[in-house]
Structures are given as structure tokens and as C-alpha cells.
Structure 1
């Protein structure tokens, strides 16, 4: 169900042509300060909350924090990593900060190797079409892409060590009153959905304790909270079942998706602009300084993400602003359920987002 855009959230360009900050971005990072700064710049004017893995060397953390704009802040550090429950905690704390310090309509969860493939103007237009709705690609268990439907991730206690799964082969009881679900950690949540996730985390320590020993909790904890009516009563009516991410899975068994090099540009641009896809991708991954610089340069130029192209877009937006009579809701892509093969890893027992 689509909600009308509140008058105080109307998408009007600011004096420099930038859109209102309708989106806050939580970024989970552990390396590559240069790319992080490029990502933060491309997300302008959206507020950004950066979590850096506590195991990251201090000099790398300092390079991440140094020179960030006022709209970006570093979060308290947790010991995150591949398949660790602390990834969930970092996500929750990012939502908490975004909700406490901004009045945005949506909150996105990204990794430090993501990058937008749509301008902030386009992203704001899309969200203006979906105030009160979230974008996520989740399945109630049994998950069709996971071994045994994914129940083994929860029924047994797990530990992640050196990107390997350690499982205690003694089954345990599953919590009652929960709709178990799973899917990509990467999503864009409506404000009230993000608040519901934070509240469920704070008010249900028993569920938190249970999920600490589940496998790849960042793919099931928040998904299960969102799918459970007692936590989020109208989730199914307020969900756009799609992923807004292009992820370059290549069909090979991997623990993380590959870097998007120049070979991926045609597919990336096609998926971004294909008119047969009702909701455009607006983010992509993975990128890193050095290996993917040429691709990022293409994206910056093609979608006016940074530099002269963005300045020109905002100049035109600012020049058009006086002609707008009152709050207006721009038309944008419509969301619907579509297959997102690139967003699901081919491996049935590995993290589908590959946050590392």
C-alpha cells in the first residue's frame, strides 16, 4: 500500500540543487578508506553512519574517519566479520543512530564495498514514491535457495572461524511465536520498520541470545523480525519485494561476490536501465580502490554521482526549482516482485550478501 508524501517531506531541491535527505545510510566497513570516502561523497546529501570493524588497524580507522563531511559520523566499533552475530548488532546500532539523529523517511544498510548507481536525486524520487514502504528480498523459511530450507542455520549452534562454519551437531528448540525468514542483509527500510527492528531487539533478549549462535544471523534475525506480525503487523502490505542492489554473482561457488571490473560494465548498466525491470537497481557491489576505479569513473559520469556531472545536474535542478508551485511528488519507478538472480548467491550454505 503506497502512502502519500507528507508535506514536510516533499522532494524539493535545496539551494544547490541537492534533494532533501530522505535517506540515511548505515555502512558496514572494515577496509579501504579511499573507497569509503568516495562512497560517502557519492551519497551526498544523505547522512551516513559508518561502522568500522574493531579488528581493523587503528591507522585504517583513522584514515576512514579523517576528513568525513559533517553529515557522516563514525559509530562505536564492534568486532564484526564474516557470519558473525556482531554484524546484526552493528546494523541495529546504525538504525538506532539514524532514527535518533535524523528525520529521514528510509534507512539503507550498505557495506563499505558498495556504490550507488543512481544519483541522490533519482534515489530520493524513488523513495518519495514509496513513503511508508520498505525494499527487501526476503523469504519465509523454508528458503528455496538454502540447504534444508535454512532451518539448520537456526536449529544448531554455530560459530564462524576463519571463514569456516563450526556446528555443534546437537539440535535445539526453536523459539515460538516467530516467523522464521531469511534473505540479503542489504535492504532499504521505511522509518517505522527500522524502529520496529530496534524495538524488537531491545525488548526480546531471549531471541537475541538464541540468534547469537545461529549461522549467518545477519541473514535471518532482522528478516524474521520483519516477517513476524507481532513485531511488524503490516509488513507484507508495506513491502516492495525486490532488491535495489546489483551484485555480480557469476555462478561460481563463492563466499563473497567478485569485484565488479570493466567486464561487468555492460551487464551492470543493462540491469540499471533495463525498462523491463519495474524497480531500478540504485546500488551495486563489490568495488575496491585500484581494481575497480575505471568502473567507478564510468558510474560517476553516467549517473552524475560526483564531480562536474553532479554539479551540472544540481545546477539544472536548482534552476528548475522556482517553476515548482508548492510540494510535488515526482513520478518514479514502480516497485513490484521481480526475480533478482544477481542478488542471491548460488551457494546454499554460504552468506548470500558476502559482507566481506
Structure 2
């Protein structure tokens, strides 16, 4: 495929704040189409700043509250997929946080997806998931949950799990082949009982889509077209795991520039998290230089 062919990747961005970084992220993703969701809890001023002067390749999605660990993030993800599928012209759709940034050139991303035209990149596995405590994550599903800030409220009365579902979990960040994204949207639309159930699960963005993808009746052949041993996001937890990773600053740049998490990371990272204008500008400038990102924006900003 020629370099100037139609973009192969659509990017669904879930943003909450930091308009300057969101604009920079969108510039770095040029020429990929972007489907932008802004948390409904953001102020009108922040929303206005994020959505001002966007290029024509950006579609602003209807706003929903997307508080941490709540169902709203899943709804925004699904609507992003729906919009990208309706526009067509892509082979893959990436779910990207507004605090992410590319760690590869556009040419490298295109080459990776050309090599995996029918494949999805999603680090998900059937429960029990060893990293999620003694229940392996099933307690996220068996009990009804609410989020209060970044605290979990759990009703300690177990409930029955839906039948014929392969419950799975993993990071919400992923790149899906369009056939898999279409299957996720179809399942969401045709199984309201699953939507009702998952609304009250904990961190549903880490289990709903992953469970749909791993259930053969929803996505036949998933295992044959799923690259599950490679996580394409570099996340530096900076020591013991916390609820959110720290901001990436200049001190983390050498580790990020190595572009491998372990010796088993056979495919270079495509994105990293998390960046902010305040903490990460110097690192972002280095990434732009290393990977040829935002060339037109940088040129237009030059004196």
C-alpha cells in the first residue's frame, strides 16, 4: 500500500482534561482519523478548549460521564467504534487515552498493521487473572459495584453470572481489527441483558469488551486472529503498582526510548502513557524528533 493511501488506523480518544496535550496527540496521529470523546464531567471551558480548531479528520462524539472504573468509559468506547465503522476506510481501530502519545512513526504503525491486517492486539485472557487478587477478578463481576471518586463501593451480596460467556480481563487499551470491533458493537446492541449486568461491575472497561472478544459465540475465530502476548503500550508504573501510573518526565526517557518492555517484547511499542503538558513537554519534543511526528505543526510554529 502506498504511503499516501487512505489511513489504515482510526483512533478513538477518551479525553478528560489538558486541552494542549490532546491537541498535540491529535497532531501526532495525522493523518489517521480521530473519534474524540470528552468526559461530560469536564467543564465547558475545558471542553471548548479541547474541541476548538480541530482538523476535519476529527469527529467529536456525544459526551458521557467517564469516571474511573465506571461503565461510562465502555459506552464511550463502543460509540467510538460505531462512528469509525460507519465512516469506513480503515482496517483497525485503536482505543487511546487522552494522556497517551505515539512512540512510533506513522510509517511504522502502518507497516505493523499491514503485517497484521486481520489481527487485533489486545492483552486479554480468560479469568481467573492472577494479577487481580484471590478471586482472579471474579469478585469484580459477582458483586454489584459503584465508584465514589477512586474508591470502590461493593454490595456484598453475590449475584448469578450470565451463562455462556467466557469472562476475560486485561488492559482496556487495545487495537482491534474492524471485524472484531464490529462484533463488539453488535454484541452490545443485541444483548441488553449483558449491558444491564456489566453496568454494575468493577472496572468494566477491563472486562466487558475483553469478555465479548474471548467468547466464541460473539467473536468466532478470535484466538486465531489475536496477538495477545504483546502489549503495544509502554506504561512506567515507577515502582509499586498504584491506581494510576505516574506522569512520564525526562527521567523516564531513556527507558521509553529503548522501546522494549522486556526481551520478550518482540514488537516495539506504539503508544505510551501517561503524558501531560506540565510534566512531559521535553519528552514529547524528543519523541516528535525521534519519530518524525507533528512535522507540519512544528514547521508552522517555527519563527
Instruction: Tell me, yes or no, whether TM beats 0.5.
Output: yes
Measure, in 2, the Cα distance between the counterparts of 1:210 and 1:274: 37
Matched position secondary structure for 2:248: coil
Give matches, 1:289-328, under 5 Å: 289-307=277-295
Question: Displacement of 1:223 after TM fit?
Answer: 0.3
Question: Displacement of 1:290 after TM fit?
Answer: 1.8
Would you say 1:216 and 2:206 are equivalent positions?
no
Would you say 1:259 and 2:247 are equivalent positions?
yes
Matched position secondary structure for 2:259: helix
Aligned to 2:127: 141
Aligned to 1:155: 142
Would you say 1:270 and 2:291 are equivalent positions?
no
Measure, in 1, the Cα distance between the counterparts of 2:106 and 2:295: 13
Match of 1:13 among 3, 10, 13: 3
Match of 1:226 among 213, 221, 226: 213
Match of 2:48 among 59, 62, 78: 62
Aligned to 2:35: 49
Quick check: 1:142–1:151 contact (8 Å CA) kept in 2? yes
Measure, in 1, the Cα distance between the counterparts of 2:72 and 2:79: 10
Give the structure-1-normalised TM-score.
0.81
Structure 1 residues 234 and 265 mapped into 2: Cα distance closer, same or farther (>3 Å)? Answer: same
Measure, in 2, the Cα distance between the counterparts of 1:310 and 1:240: 35
Matched position secondary structure for 1:137: coil
Quick check: 1:28–1:51 contact (8 Å CA) kept in 2? yes
Give matches, 1:73-92, under 5 Å: 73-92=59-78
Matched length: 297
Measure, in 2, the Cα distance between the counterparts of 1:115 and 1:194: 22
Quick check: 1:272–1:282 contact (8 Å CA) kept in 2? no
Quick check: 1:229–1:235 contact (8 Å CA) kept in 2? yes
Quick check: 2:21–2:276 contact (8 Å CA) kept in 1? yes
Aligned to 1:175: 162
Question: Displacement of 1:96 after TM fit?
Answer: 0.2
The runs of 5 or more residues in structure 1 that have no matched partner are 1-10, 312-356
Quick check: 2:6–2:89 contact (8 Å CA) kept in 1? no
Question: Displacement of 1:253 after TM fit?
Answer: 3.6
Measure, in 2, the Cα distance between the counterparts of 1:50 and 1:210: 27
Question: Displacement of 1:215 after TM fit?
Answer: 0.5
Measure, in 2, the Cα distance between the counterparts of 1:275 and 1:160: 37
Would you say 1:94 and 2:80 are equivalent positions?
yes
Give the structure-2-normalised TM-score.
0.95
Q: What RMSD over aligned residues (CA atoms) do the two structures have, in Å?
A: 1.6
Structure 1 moving runs of 4+ over 2 Å: 271-277, 307-311
Quick check: 1:243–1:281 contact (8 Å CA) kept in 2? yes
Question: Displacement of 1:306 after TM fit?
Answer: 1.7
